[in-house]
Amino acid sequence: MKIQSVKDLEKITREYSTSLYYPDSIKVNIGMASCGIAAGAEAAFKTAAEAFAADRAIQVSQTGCIGYCEMEPLVEILTNGRPRVMYKNITPDKILDAVDDYQNGLSKKKWILGQMRDPRSILEAEIDNPMGKVEPFEAIPFLEDIPFYKGQVKIALRNCGYIDPDCIEEYIAKKGYRALLQMLEHSEPGKILETIKASGLRGRGGGGFPTGIKWATCAKHDGDRYIICNADEGDPGAYMDRSILEGDPHSVLEGMLIAGYAIGSRQGYIYVRNEYPLAVKRLVTAIKQAEACGLLGDNIAGTDYSFNIKISTGAGAFVCGESTALMASLEGNVGRPRAKYVHTVEKGFREGPTNLNNVETYANVPAIVLQGAEWYAGMGTDHSKGTKVFSLVGKIKNTGLVEVPMGISLKEIAFTIGGGIPKKKRFKAIQTGGPSGGCIPERFMDLPVDYQKLAEVGSIMGSGGMIAMDQDTCMVDVARYFMDFLKEESCGQCNPCREGIKQVLDILTDICAGNGKEGDIELLEELGSMIQKFSLCGLGTSAPNPVLTTILYFRDEYEAHIRDKKCPAGVCKALFHYEIDAEACNGCHVCARKCPQDAISGDKKKPHTLDQELCIKCSICYDACKFNAIAIC
Amino acid sequence: MITFKLNGKTVQGEEGQYILQVAEKYGVDIPTMCHHKALEPAGMCRLCTVELFDGRRSRFVTACNYPIWEGMEITTDSEAVHQGRKLIVELLLARCPDVPMLKKLAKEYGIEKPRFKTEGDDCILCGLCVRMCERMGNSAISLTGRGVEMKVDTPYHLQSDVCMACGACASVCPTGHITLEKINEIITRHKDVQPIPSEYDMGLNGRKPVYVPYAQAVPNTPAIDRDVCVHFKTGGCKVCTEFCGVDAIDHTMEDEIVELEVGSIILAPGFEPFDPSKFDSYNYANHPNVITSMEMERILSASGPTGGHLVRPSDHKEPKKIAWFQCVGSRDLNRCDNSYCSSVCCMYAIKESVIAKEHAGDDLECTIFYMDMRTHGKDFERFYNNAQEKGVRFVRSRVHTIDPVAGSDDLSVRYVTESGELQNETFDQVVLSIGLQTNPETVALAKKLDIELTEGNFCKTETFEPVETSQKGIYVCGAFQGPKDIPQSVIDASAAAGSAGAVLSAARNTRTLTPEVVPETNVFGERPRIGVFVCRCGINIAGVVDVPAVRDYAATLPYVEYFSDNLYSCAQDTQETMTQIIKQKNLNRVVVAACTPKTHEPLFQETLINAGLNKYLFEMCNIRNQDSWVHKNNPDMATEKAKDLVRMAVSKVALMQPLEEAELQVNQTAMIIGGGIAGMSAASTLAQHGYETHIVEKSDALGGQALNLFRTISGDDVQEKLSHLIADVDQNENIHVHLSTELKNVEGFVGSFKATLAADGKETELEHGVAVVATGASALKPREYHYGDDPRILTSLELDRKFMDKDPALKELKSAVFIQCVGSREPERPYCSKVCCTHSIDNALELKKTNPEMSVYILYRDIRTYGEREYIYREAREKGIIFVRYAVDNKPVLDLDNGEIKITVTDHVLGRPLEIATDLVTLASAVVPNKDEALANFFKVSLNDDGFFVEKHAKLGPSEFATDGVFLCGLAHYPKPIDESVVQGRAAASRAVTLLARETIHTSGTIAETVPMNCSSCAVCVSICPYSAPAFIEEGPFTGKAKINPVLCKGCGLCVASCRSGAIKLKGFDNDQIFAQIFAMNEAV
């Protein structure tokens, strides 16, 4: 069916809002993003689908990730007139019981994450809340009230977990492609540029460049203009973009279509990691569907506007997330950055003016066009508007994706939404911005999250990775870890980055091995400062951040390593040993049982002893002891 | 134009330029390791990082690829920049601790040892090679791998057919990681890759595809060798265009066919050296230490592959023993077809051996293996004798085989001595004295032109028409006419030009364009307004000297009104700009700090003339040859020296005054002294060119020595030809013959000589513009071998007379003996008379022809039948003429015993005395010059020890004197056969025409001038001047004081230095000017 107008979209919206909000049957939405699948969602889906194949009263369908990855597989069950309930950790063996439980009175309270107060997205304010007239279940919390979701505002992730990503109609039903068609019907490209500019949206890929200015500059330069979506999300532990591509691919396509129209481009590319096969698959499906609907391709919705999107998969080089390297790779050359003294908006891909944004940026665009620049700019801080998706990982209770308004404090993200540090450990630092971000210590936890503020404390927003670290994290080792990653991922063409990182890593490795010497810290600072200033691309200029911020905030840990030959966190094996605190040990023998080396001995209920000769510092005893009787010395 | 700030100074650059390019223009040094002018900048090494202030904040950008924009502010050497660069160098030094270029850089940054763990790499991953390979159109290599794994490699680490082994990568590799040897070894194992052999260095050196064939090439501009240039193979490269500052390179140029309408053609295609590769037994092709004489020339040359250092090719060892083998490819019908003598090899072999000894020291053993030592040229015999005295060993033996000595690079030579003993001797090196032969292409050309060739493939000419080919209007000169040396080739060339020009004399000056004369500005009394132009000479000067600093320094000097620097000051467009600037800025003095005035002063003087300035208001200082070239390693001091030189030049030029050049009329008349073959040839050439010519002949007939000659070896009847020549001269209305006339006096100078002729007791005056000395020589009257005691003992000329008279007695002779070198090659007369060997053999053959039964002996020392004269030597031996060699210390003894002539000579083969009874003895007596000292005095020319006239230059001026307007030819120069006399006569005439063709002559303005008031009339100047320029004033207020004839003065300064009264000054080099320079120099101390 070719869609020609907003009216056509409204027709679909009407058709599909029933299945979305008022299904006659029981609808079982299984979170089928990579995180869910990894936790067993695919098997659960298969089990349910087979079980209810003949049962017309039960409909099994897939959605994307709703963010709370810790709780995957998440299964939402709903039916017209009853509350929507989100079950957590629904492994294949639990799926049928969960459906049964929903049908028969919700006795398995522990399986339930919560019930939904309002399933509408932020774009659907004008329709009635489908849950408005439904009586909620008692004694079951509302999802919106649990700490993980309470502070979140979902714009980029607005549809993730709410729709079937392989179903364009569901996207349309949730106001999808409305922005595109309204724009084609009513707006000049210049007006769109103004809107995006006024919204204050900044690139979510890491650089934070004002998107509207980028678009306008690109539109100003003559030549074959290109729109590229950077989906080469390479930071370890960060998967915001993957989640959007897997959960709501059309939002990205629509964002690119709007960009293409505003800038005057006919061709878009999505450069996506080959390690994201599901995202690629969903994108391929989405593109086919959009083309079938006449929303992508030639003469979109019967207008003069034509825009095509091709997918190109990257081969897993971190540096290909850098815009010029990405374009080189897209052209079929080696993915190495070049100097951006002539900006890519002037001469980028195939020498044409090229606009490159990342997935999250494009996903925000339809919402902004639909709701208006003022609405978007109303959120966030002076310099950073709107919301940002963070990937919350590390030593934190609630891992997952969160989308919060800019300006929210780190503390709120880590402690309220994230739930703080597990096992009563002490919080030490939070690392933002991926491998080339910085480590922010506790004293800055009240810092409002925006581009400027993070830069002021030596870190970066990056693409939204956020790694929490507790007392057991050695900051020297953290720096070493990131340097090791960057040593592998540096493209190698410029001296400061290639040779500099190599030497930084070398020095850090020495320090961790107990071979640090006086002057190492200063040398690291000297190297770091030079690499920042002299490197060719963003990878190099930000690479020393982990080292420099850890030195800045945790210099004492470096000094302990170098001068005292001690690793206070008990990570660098050459620099600590475990001892059993005789006073704290009550002789429960758990440690002795778990020790793979049989290094711990002692009579029951009496303090145990540890044979240092045998100990391999595997930390099993340390982690096992509930009485903090194993001490790091 | 974009204006911005560079280190606080306002600078300008073109839109699209990068910071580095502009900085370079302004002389601001920014270090870089990965930048190459011909390649897209990549910003990889980051060493060129500079600080950029954009009005709001400061950041770091790489100068090589950051485009300039209006208003930006760049700091190239801030502390942060310096520290960062230093750290980069330190990091790279840790990576490549043994790379010299990094060590040097580290030293400059004060890094003694890197603080990091060192590795042993030698690649700094600058990527130059990869980008260069891409530019070559090949992309055979690339940067592979990521991060620390990155390296330069071929795809999949495999050998690649894509690689053409052009070596472009190696040429840009700054560390030596890539070398031609490695490419050979690793990449192109299956190909035999060699550098492009330099033709000039005989393949001993490589050369580039863009090259100047040799330093003195004309035109002296580089050419691109299409056969090897990468661009013509791949369409890529064109790197050279980036380096050419004046955009002179155009790869699209095609060969053009140009049609010229000409009246005569001169063939001067030269020769090719014989290739001895086919002589298996000499192992030339296989053994590096068997080399040709041409290769030896290059090894001995200061500009050669070893810089003049004598080493042998195989192992660069300094040889202790070198052998030369003569007649390789000459006088040989067994192993090649060249039966002629190549004429030049004996002399060059001796020269090489002497120079080798000069280079390597006296203990170098030089041995020359020869058959006959042919040192028949002027002063050659003396050189030969000196070589013997210096210890060069001469062994008369033709060596058959050279064997490599197993286990070493030495060579074993087996030969038979004169006494028949077999010898084995080991040498470090053997030089093959290869002969001359005509190139097959030249043979083809001759065929196309339908020109007759000789047996030896040389151009066939007649004795009396020695530069005419068999085709009318086509002339020949040089080695194509026959193997010959430089002096003879130069003489030939002048003669050919004279002959070719003679037929065109009617067309003279019909196509001449006259340049527009710019009126000279009168600068008298003006305050000096000096313009200083400092030349970069590409990188010749600017690569060492800080040219902008010198230019800016010039601005601070007194009277300097304008200063600038040029990429190439000598470029045509620069010349035009200079002319404009001189006019616009009203400059009245100009200093150019560039290269050598020897080559370029006239050019810049021309520029002054075009700008309306007197050309002497100019001073040039040489900041290239005397500065940047010799102080390469001390750029700072070189810059200081350049400043000193500029300051000195400025101080001198301020005192320069316009000078006038004397103009004199050339009397278009020639006087030839001597009416022999040479004189008559000169006269008829001059007459053909349309000039009035006078022959002054002492005797009562024209013809000279030729009157005594029977015939030439080509069979011409000399008397018949001579009579034709005399008739031609007599009948030519331009030629006036003065017989029985003596030259009493000559006065004047070039263009206006006045000769006093005496005939029949009457004296007449002859005014003429030029003179040709052709006074000839005569045959020695021997005082040995009983000459004069018996009518059967004759000189060669006397035997000729008998032939001319068809003496019937000759037929009756049973035996005839010729004794060579009678009076020649002796201590008293240490020169070879050149003509006698050929003459005697020819006469011997004539006797044999008269009576084949006659026993004919030739007693000789060396047979010197040079060139194709060798054929008659061969014929003589075939006809049974017996050649017996004698030594100068064991001459034949002639006894007159009872009316019988008995000659005893020691046979050189048997070592025994041989007695010959004969009834005719012909003494090949020496050619003796006239030693005409009076004549030498008339023209201020000199005679050598043997009594022959000394030419201007043995090689380059063989037919003229150092005295302007006086020319030389014939036997007066040196003994020579008829053809060579004819050639030199024409050559002398041809040289004279170059003067006569100009109606006026301008002399130099830098000449001496007297201040008569100060003159004490001591006459030192008069006696000391080699050019007779000073004379006493004969009338007027200063009678008796000295004055200088501006026409004769050469500006040598002898008189100035010798004048005790300080009455003479040298214009343009006046005392105050010289002292100003010296005082200016003093400021530097």
Residue B284 reports pLDDT greater than 90: yes
Q: Tell me how close the Cα of A215 comes to any Cα of chain B, in angstroms.
A: 23
Residue B319 Cα to chain centre, angstroms: 28
- Would you place residue B188 in the very low, low, confident or very high pLDDT band (cuts 50, 70, 90)? low
pLDDT at B193: 67
- Would you place residue B216 in the very low, low, confident or very high pLDDT band (cuts 50, 70, 90)? confident
- Whether A632 and chain B come into contact, CB under 8 Å, resolves to no
DSSP state of A312: E
Q: Which residues of chain A lie closer than 8 angstroms to B124, CB-CB?
A: 495
The answer to whether the Cα torsion of B444, B449, B455, B459 is positive or negative is: negative
| Assembly ipTM | 0.91
* Contact at CB, A338 and B42, closer than 8 angstroms: yes
**Considering CB atoms only, which of A339, A491, A502 is closest to B146?**
A491
Residue B192 reports pLDDT greater than 70: no
Q: Which of residues 279-318 of A touch B (CB under 8 A)?
A: 317
Do A395 and A421 touch, CB atoms closer than 8 A?
yes
Q: Tell me how close the Cα of B44 comes to any Cα of chain A, in angstroms.
A: 5
Burial classification of residue B255, based on how many CB atoms lie within 10 Å of its CB (0-12 exposed, 13-18 middle, 19 or more buried): exposed
Measured CA to CA, the distance from residue A467 to residue B896 in angstroms comes to: 129
- Minimal CA–CA distance to B611: which of B650, B584, B638? B584
Mean pLDDT, residues B214-241: 88
Measured CA to CA, the distance from residue B1073 to residue B1085 in angstroms comes to: 19
Q: Can you read off the two tokens belonging to residue A244?
A: 């959007």
Q: For B736-773, write each residue's pLDDT tens digit.
A: 999 999 999 998 888 999 999 999 999 999 999 999 99
Q: Which residues of chain A lie closer than 8 angstroms to B127, CB-CB?
A: 493
* Contact at CB, A499 and B61, closer than 8 angstroms: no
Residue B703 reports pLDDT greater than 70: yes
* Contact at CB, A498 and B145, closer than 8 angstroms: no
Measured CA to CA, the distance from residue B702 to residue B856 in angstroms comes to: 34
pLDDT at B183: 81
Measured CA to CA, the distance from residue A61 to residue B957 in angstroms comes to: 108
**Considering CB atoms only, which of A341, A506, A530 is closest to B84?**
A530
Residue B632 reports pLDDT greater than 90: no
Question: What does the CA dihedral B708, B710, B716, B718 come to, rounded to 10 degrees?
Answer: 20
pLDDT at B182: 83
Q: Tell me how close the Cα of A448 comes to any Cα of chain B, in angstroms.
A: 25
Residue B429 reports pLDDT greater than 60: yes
Measured CA to CA, the distance from residue A374 to residue A379 in angstroms comes to: 9
- Whether A524 and chain B come into contact, CB under 8 Å, resolves to no
Contacts of A476 by beta carbon, 8 Å cutoff, 6+ apart: A508, A511, A512, A550, A554, A557, A558, A561, A567, A572
Q: Which of residues 66-85 of B touch A (CB under 8 A)?
A: 66-67, 80, 83-84
* Contact at CB, B143 and A492, closer than 8 angstroms: yes
Within A24-86, residue ranges assigned H as helices are 34-39, 41-51
What are the φ/ψ torsions at residue B395 (nearest 5 degrees)?
Answer: -120, 120
pLDDT at B187: 67
Mean pLDDT, residues B100-107: 94
Please state whether the predicted TM-score (pTM) of the whole model is above 0.90: no
Q: What is the mean pLDDT of each run of 10 residues along chain A (633 residues)?
A: 92 93 94 94 95 92 94 94 95 94 90 94 93 91 94 96 96 96 94 96 91 97 97 90 96 98 97 95 97 96 96 92 95 92 94 97 97 96 94 93 95 94 91 89 93 91 91 95 94 95 97 95 97 93 93 96 94 92 90 92 90 91 90 88
* Contact at CB, B148 and A502, closer than 8 angstroms: yes
Do B163 and B140 touch, CB atoms closer than 8 A?
yes
pLDDT at B1027: 81
Q: Which residues of chain B lie closer than 8 angstroms to A523, CB-CB?
A: 115
* Contact at CB, A495 and B91, closer than 8 angstroms: yes
- Whether A609 and chain B come into contact, CB under 8 Å, resolves to no
Q: For B946-969, write each residue's pLDDT tens digit.
A: 999 999 999 999 999 988 899 999
* Contact at CB, A499 and B95, closer than 8 angstroms: yes
Does an H or E element contain B820, and which?
A: strand B815-822
Starting at the edge strand found earlier in the chain, the sheet holding B411-416 runs B401-404, B411-416, B422-427
pLDDT at B184: 77
Residue of higher predicted confidence among B303 and B830: B830
- Whether B30 and chain A come into contact, CB under 8 Å, resolves to no
| Bridge partners for B767 per DSSP | B754
* Contact at CB, A503 and B125, closer than 8 angstroms: no
Measured CA to CA, the distance from residue A503 to residue A19 in angstroms comes to: 59
Measured CA to CA, the distance from residue A517 to residue A532 in angstroms comes to: 24
Q: Which residues of chain B lie closer than 8 angstroms to A499, CB-CB?
A: 88, 91-92, 94-95
Shortest CA distance from A539: residue in chain B:
B147
pLDDT at B897: 84
Residue B228 Cα to chain centre, angstroms: 28
* Contact at CB, B148 and A495, closer than 8 angstroms: no
Within A347-492, residue ranges assigned H as helices are 359-371, 373-377, 410-411, 451-456, 475-489
Burial classification of residue A580, based on how many CB atoms lie within 10 Å of its CB (0-12 exposed, 13-18 middle, 19 or more buried): buried
Q: For B400-411, write each residue's pLDDT tens digit.
A: 899 999 999 999
Shortest CA distance from B150: residue in chain A:
A492
Which amino acid is residue A172, in one-letter code?
I
Q: Which residues of chain A lie closer than 8 angstroms to B45, CB-CB?
A: 494-495
Burial classification of residue B53, based on how many CB atoms lie within 10 Å of its CB (0-12 exposed, 13-18 middle, 19 or more buried): middle
Do B1068 and B656 touch, CB atoms closer than 8 A?
yes
**CB contacts < 8 A (A, B):** 101
- Whether A198 and chain B come into contact, CB under 8 Å, resolves to no
DSSP state of B318: P
- Minimal CA–CA distance to A524: which of A556, A543, A548? A548
Mutate to test the interface with A, among B21, B50, B59, B87 (most CBs of A within 10 A): B87
Strand segments (E) across B140-298: 142-144, 151-153, 196-197, 206-207, 210-211, 223-224, 265-267, 272-273, 290-292
- Would you place residue B513 in the very low, low, confident or very high pLDDT band (cuts 50, 70, 90)? confident
- Whether B114 and chain A come into contact, CB under 8 Å, resolves to no
Residue B1084 reports pLDDT greater than 60: no
Do A181 and A6 touch, CB atoms closer than 8 A?
yes
Does an H or E element contain B646, and which?
A: helix B635-653
Measured CA to CA, the distance from residue B460 to residue B478 in angstroms comes to: 12
* Contact at CB, A534 and B49, closer than 8 angstroms: yes
Shortest CA distance from A339: residue in chain B:
B43
CA distances from A170 to A42, A127, A256, A531, B742 (A): 21, 15, 19, 48, 129
Q: Which residues of chain B lie closer than 8 angstroms to A487, CB-CB?
A: 147-148
Shortest CA distance from B19: residue in chain A:
A341
* Contact at CB, A495 and B88, closer than 8 angstroms: yes
- The per-residue DSSP string of B914-972 comes to EEEEES-EEEEEPEEE---HHHHHHTT--B-TTSPBPPSBTTTBTTB-SSTTEEE-GGG
Question: What does the CA dihedral A96, A98, A100, A104 come to, rounded to 10 degrees?
Answer: 180
SS (H, E, C) B501-560: HHCCHHHCCCCCCCCCCCCCCCCCCCCCCEEEEEECCCCCCCCCCCHHHHHHHHHCCCCE
- The per-residue DSSP string of A581-627 comes to -TTT-----HHHHH-TT--EE--TTS--EE-TTT-----HHHHH-SS
Q: For A473-507, write each residue's pLDDT tens digit.
A: 999 999 999 999 999 999 999 999 999 999 999 99
Measured CA to CA, the distance from residue A262 to residue B954 in angstroms comes to: 86
Q: For B465-481, write each residue's pLDDT tens digit.
A: 999 999 999 999 999 99
> Among B308-312, B974-978, B997-1001, whose mean pLDDT is lowest?
B997-1001
**Considering CB atoms only, which of B66, B91, B142 is closest to A500?**
B91
* Contact at CB, A498 and B150, closer than 8 angstroms: yes
Mean pLDDT over all residues of chain A? Answer: 94
Shortest CA distance from B89: residue in chain A:
A495
Contacts of A599 by beta carbon, 8 Å cutoff, 6+ apart: A610, A611, A612, A613, A614, A615, A616
Measured CA to CA, the distance from residue A561 to residue A559 in angstroms comes to: 5
Q: For A566-620, write each residue's pLDDT tens digit.
A: 999 999 999 999 999 989 999 899 999 999 999 999 888 889 999 999 999 998 9
Q: Which of residues 38-57 of B touch A (CB under 8 A)?
A: 42-47, 49
SS3 label, residue B369: strand
Taking only Cα atoms into account, the Rg of chain B, rounded to an integer number of angstroms, comes to: 36
Measured CA to CA, the distance from residue B575 to residue B406 in angstroms comes to: 63
- Would you place residue B1047 in the very low, low, confident or very high pLDDT band (cuts 50, 70, 90)? confident
SS3 label, residue B207: strand
Residue B191 reports pLDDT greater than 80: no
Measured CA to CA, the distance from residue B870 to residue B333 in angstroms comes to: 12
- Minimal CA–CA distance to B644: which of B951, B1082, B102? B1082
- Whether B1019 and chain A come into contact, CB under 8 Å, resolves to no
- The per-residue DSSP string of B824-890 comes to SSBTTB-S--SSHHHHHHHHHHHHHHH-TT-EEEEEESS----GGGHHHHHHHHHTT-EEEE-BTTB
